[in-house]
């Protein structure tokens, strides 16, 4: 996205929150607020119209909450934006549900301006997970419970040995470059393996692949 601003949509029913987010994002070079929504339904329509790169999505909104809005965005667009859930509570089942349906990460409303900007840039331009430790804690707290051995075996059976190793390293939060160093292969090889993992698990991105790994028991979030 070099030379092109990262286009951001804000979705939150609180005017003060949107004002603060707009001030932070709008003041940052290379970021641009292109639209604001006050409900989940409005967010879905706005995203389909404007095609932003990133959506900051409040998890609790009237009419349609952030979970359903995220789900509709992911289901209704061939190349959906990256959705970051914005929440008051870190260990929130709503946040985990939003991640399961397609959000790529979450931020707390008390996060600082630098953290917000870094998160937007990371999900828009990087192959790293947003806050992998927090994702693991959410999976441990709100996952579907104890997975059966056959679920882990089925997931493992879909992947080659190299792809399985890449998925384990992805759950640890390693980027493609870090995985390449760990496996002593080239970054292009890792990128190919990551693409294979996503395709074989039928998921859109790294976050959903990691959640699938946790929920199947392929790796333990604990």
Long-range contacts: 158-164, Cβ < 8 Å, 24+? 158/200, 158/201, 159/196, 159/197, 159/200, 160/193, 160/196, 162/193, 163/193, 163/196, 163/197, 163/200, 164/218
Distance CA 128, CA 125 (A): 9
Domain range list for the chain = 6-126, 148-216
**So what's the architecture of 6-126 in CATH?**
3-Layer(aba) Sandwich (3.40)
- In this structure, how many other beta carbons lie within 10 angstroms of the beta carbon of residue 23? 12
Sheet holding 105-108, edge to edge: 31-37, 6-11, 54-58, 82-87, 105-108
pLDDT in tens, 181-207: 999 999 999 999 999 999 999 998 999
- CATH number for 148-216 (one of 3.40.50.970, 1.10.10.10, 1.10.3720.10, 2.70.70.10): it is 1.10.10.10
Tell me the mean pLDDT in the region 63-67.
Answer: 90
Residue 48: which of 3, 80, 92 has the closest Cα? Answer: 80
Residue 85: which of 110, 60, 49 has the closest Cα? Answer: 60
Distance CA 9, CA 56 (A): 6
Q: Which two tokens stand for residue 82?
A: 């990256």
pLDDT in tens, 20-33: 999 999 999 999 99
Give me the pLDDT at residue 20, please. Answer: 94
Distance CA 9, CA 32 (A): 9
Give me the pLDDT at residue 147, please. Answer: 59
pLDDT in tens, 97-153: 999 999 999 999 899 999 999 999 999 987 888 888 888 888 888 876 555 667 888
pLDDT in tens, 172-185: 999 999 999 999 99
Residue 9: which of 51, 67, 48, 55 has the closest Cα? Answer: 55
Distance CA 167, CA 183 (A): 12
Distance CA 33, CA 23 (A): 9
Cα four-point dihedral sign 116, 120, 121, 127: positive
CB 137 within 8 A of CB 71: no
Q: Tokens 């959906």 appear where? A: 80
């Amino acid at each position: 996205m070099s030379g092109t601003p990262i286009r951001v949509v804000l979705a939150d029913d609180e005017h003060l929150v949107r004002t603060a987010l707009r001030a932070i994002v709008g003041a940052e070079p290379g970021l641009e607020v292109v639209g604001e929504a006050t409900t989940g339904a409005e967010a879905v329509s706005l995203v389909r119209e404007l095609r932003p790169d990133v959506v900051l999505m409040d998890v609790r909104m009237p009419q349609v909450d952030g979970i359903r809005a995220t789900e509709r965005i992911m289901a209704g667009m061939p190349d959906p934006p990256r959705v970051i859930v914005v929440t008051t509570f870190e260990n929130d089942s709503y946040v985990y549900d939003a991640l399961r349906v397609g959000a790529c990460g979450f931020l707390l409303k008390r996060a600082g301006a630098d953290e917000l900007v870094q998160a937007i840039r990371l999900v828009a331009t990087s192959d790293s997970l947003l806050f992998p430790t927090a994702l693991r804690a959410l999976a441990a707290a709100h996952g579907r419970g104890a997975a059966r051995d056959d679920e882990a075996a089925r997931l493992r059976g879909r992947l080659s040995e190299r792809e399985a190793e890449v998925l384990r390293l992805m759950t640890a939060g390693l980027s493609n470059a870090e995985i390449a160093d760990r496996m002593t292969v080239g970054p292009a090889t890792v990128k190919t393996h990551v693409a294979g993992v996503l395709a074989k698990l039928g998921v859109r991105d790294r976050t959903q692949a990691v959640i699938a790994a946790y929920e199947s028991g392929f790796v333990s979030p604990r």
